A and B are shown apart, each in its own frame.
Chain A
Amino acid sequence: MVDDDPDVRTSVARGLRHSGFDVRVAATGKEALRLLSNESHDALVLDVQMPELDGVAVVTALRALGNEIPICVLSARDTVNDRIAGLEAGADDYLTKPFDLGELVARLHALLRRASHSDQPSDTMTVGPLTIDTARRLVFVDGERVDLTKREFDLLAVLAENAGVVLSRQRLLELVWGYDFDVDTNVADVFISYLRRKLERDGLPRVIHTVRGIGYVLRDEP
């Protein structure tokens, strides 16, 4: 649990402890990176706005080091947009301050479950210009490699496995994040927008389509 504010750090860490987690706290990004390199942790709750090394930098550093620990960032922004700091760098989910402690606990449990059994079939899927190599976790568009974060890859893999099938947001949250409970978040839409931005670069045609009022579908033709 990383936050520069002592009150938030104490209260959230105490809440998590009472919910059955073994919690270590850090006040700065540097301290968090040191803690994570010294001992193994299962999940990270990270404040985005911190002096010096901020949350985004911590996520970027961890992912660059190949650390795939599930990360939930705490964002102070209250605007609804798809540019949640930290998610693009590779965080898995976000909560806006102030948040419901029960919500954080439920999401952490789900992310931990997901992380422990990431058992997708190892083969290669092709949809239109898209090639997904699940064994090596690589994605190619027209033969060119596209770098995706872990969560982006998982989302694309789920969509590809169900190519042509419309998946609701709820179903995506369940399949990709393991949220098999009622959850109020637009994290799936945010990640869809990230995926589109990366896959449609250079004016490539859209492969992830929105089915209004229902959800998303991956298919070649419009």
Chain B
Amino acid sequence: MRVPRFLRSASLRTRVAIASAAAASAVVAVFTILTSVVLANNDAAQLDRRLDSIIDASMYPDQLQDPRRGVLTTGRSKSNGQVVFQRGLQLPPLPLGTATVEVNGVEYRVRTITVDEQGGLVMSVGIRADSVLLNRARIPLYTAVGLVTVLIAGGLGWLLAGPAIRPLRRLTEHTKRLGKNTERMPEVRGVREAEDLSEAMTEMLSRLAAAQQATTNSLQAAQDFAANAAHELRTPLTAMRADLDTLRIHDLPAEERAEVVQDLSRAQRRVEAIITALGQLASGQLAQAEDRELIDVTDMLDRVARENMRAGGVEIVVEAADDLGAIWGWPGGLRLAVDNLVRNAVTHAHATQIVLTARRQEHTMTIVVDDNGRGLPEEEHQTVLGRFSRGSNAAPGGSGLGLALVAQQAALHGGRIELSNGPLGGLRATLTLSTSPEPPADSD
């Protein structure tokens, strides 16, 4: 069962947001409680102070016990501003309304009103106004509290962010341990970003591993090929060496001597054929997509037929429509493939009649080479396509690479080569090619 991604694991952003929200809530909660307590205390203190003033004013209106505690009352004549009566310290003359004034270094909140007795009075009544909370003396305290709050918030954030980014740290540790004995990336769960990163890294690692494997494989193939090529070259050289030694050691009659020399030159041609075929194989391996050209298949078959009939002894018929059209490919390589098939029929199967047929289907072009030669045992139809493998009835002197070259070209052209028993009594070689203008993807 697959859980939607957003449910499976939160993103790192979410986790960090949650962590910082948690830290902030903790700080706000603590601060709110503290503030509430302080404010409640402050309210109580203010109320107490008000009570003190009321008690002073109502119980002991004539005594002044504490000048800082009592209610200051100053009455002034409305007309000339003379102080008519005064209780406690004298308040300065003030306009009507409320104001804050400083008397003897203490702040008082003073309300000034008009009293209409004794010919008009202006009376100012003041009580202490210095605040409990808003006090300059408390600034350092508040600063300290603020700093501590910031520190607590930072600490909490640090603590809570730890678990939030743990998957990322785990990913880092996995990556550090990587490569010592494992190529697999252990799965990291919990944070979407870390999961994405982990998945991307796993993908990259498998891509790297695949690339490495491909390199190892092709290196192995190259080594095998080099060993095979060396063996293939050594074989005719062994024959040549034996012939040369025979000529050197023994004084042969002219007739036998001619035979040895003929064998020698055949072995020499064989070495040459192998080297040529090796070069062709290598250039097939290095074929570049941009070297492809449009090939007129009918024209190419005509040319192969003409050139192979020149030596005589074989009749080659081309059965292909003129409007067969062209396909994209490497002209030299394709020509070589068809040429090799025709030459095999002549050289190894001793064919006297060959029919080249080309047909176009929807996405493929099929070139069929039929001959009336001696054919090939059915069990060898597949094996002879391998490099350095020859048919059991092959004529001596071949490179063992001819059909391997055909197979290589078929693969390059997005198709394949198949051998079967043909209708003319000999072998039928069916070469299938892709007609797609796009170069085929690497088939090996």
B266 to chain A, nearest CB (A): 7
**Chain A residue total in the interface (Cβ 8 A):** 21
- B231 and A101 form a contact (CB under 8 A): no
Interface presence of A100 (CB below 8 A)? yes
Q: In the complex, A78→B233 CA distance in Å?
A: 13
- A11 and B267 form a contact (CB under 8 A): yes
Interface residues on B, range: 20 to 34
Task: For A12, give the chain B residue with the smallest CB separation.
Answer: B242
Task: For A76, give the chain B residue with the smallest CB separation.
Answer: B231
Q: In the assembled complex, which residues on chain B have CB atoms less than 8 Å from the CB atom of A78?
A: 230, 234
Interface presence of B270 (CB below 8 A)? yes
Q: Which of B238, B263, B266 contacts A98 (CB 8 A)?
A: B238
- B231 and A8 form a contact (CB under 8 A): no
* Contact residues of B: prevailing secondary structure: helix
Complex interface residues of chain A between 97 and 115 (CB less than 8 A to chain B): 97-102
Q: Which of A13-21, A30-38, A57-65, A165-173 contacts B (4 or more CB under 8 A)?
A: A13-21
- B246 and A101 form a contact (CB under 8 A): yes
Complex interface residues of chain B between 318 and 334 (CB less than 8 A to chain A): none
- A10 and B239 form a contact (CB under 8 A): yes
Task: For B396, give the chain A residue with the smallest CB separation.
Answer: A6
Q: In the assembled complex, which residues on chain B have CB atoms less than 8 Å from the CB atom of A8?
A: 235-236, 238-239, 242
- Given A11-B243, A11-B263, also A18-B249 (CB < 8 A): yes
Number of A-B contacts (CB under 8 A): 75
- B245 and A7 form a contact (CB under 8 A): no
- B238 and A97 form a contact (CB under 8 A): yes
Interface presence of B301 (CB below 8 A)? no
- A97 and B235 form a contact (CB under 8 A): yes
Q: In the assembled complex, which residues on chain A have CB atoms less than 8 Å from the CB atom of B235?
A: 5, 7-8, 76, 97
Q: Which of B239, B240, B241, B243 has the most CB of A within 10 A?
A: B239
Interface presence of B237 (CB below 8 A)? yes
Q: In the assembled complex, which residues on chain A have CB atoms less than 8 Å from the CB atom of B263?
A: 7, 10-11
- B260 and A97 form a contact (CB under 8 A): no
Interface presence of B252 (CB below 8 A)? yes
- A5 and B249 form a contact (CB under 8 A): no
Mark B210-247 against chain A: 1 for CB-CB distance below 8 A, else 0.
Answer: 00000000000000000000110011111111110110
Q: Which of B231, B249, B250, B396 contacts A7 (CB 8 A)?
A: B396
Q: In the assembled complex, which residues on chain B have CB atoms less than 8 Å from the CB atom of A49?
A: 231
- A12 and B239 form a contact (CB under 8 A): yes
- A7 and B241 form a contact (CB under 8 A): no
- A7 and B236 form a contact (CB under 8 A): yes
B273 to chain A, nearest CB (A): 12
Interface presence of B397 (CB below 8 A)? yes
Q: In the complex, A74→B230 CA distance in Å?
A: 15
- Given A14-B260, A76-B231, also A7-B246 (CB < 8 A): no
Q: In the complex, A147→B339 CA distance in Å?
A: 56
Q: In the assembled complex, which residues on chain B have CB atoms less than 8 Å from the CB atom of A14?
A: 242-243, 246, 260
Q: In the complex, A19→B249 CA distance in Å?
A: 9
- B267 and A7 form a contact (CB under 8 A): yes
- A101 and B239 form a contact (CB under 8 A): no
Query: Can you give 12 A-B contacts (C-beta < 8 A)?
Result: A7-B236, A8-B236, A8-B238, A11-B263, A18-B249, A18-B252, A76-B234, A98-B234, A98-B240, A101-B241, A101-B249, A102-B249
Chain A interface (Cβ < 8 Å from any Cβ of B)? 5-8, 10-12, 14-15, 18-19, 49, 74, 76, 78, 97-102
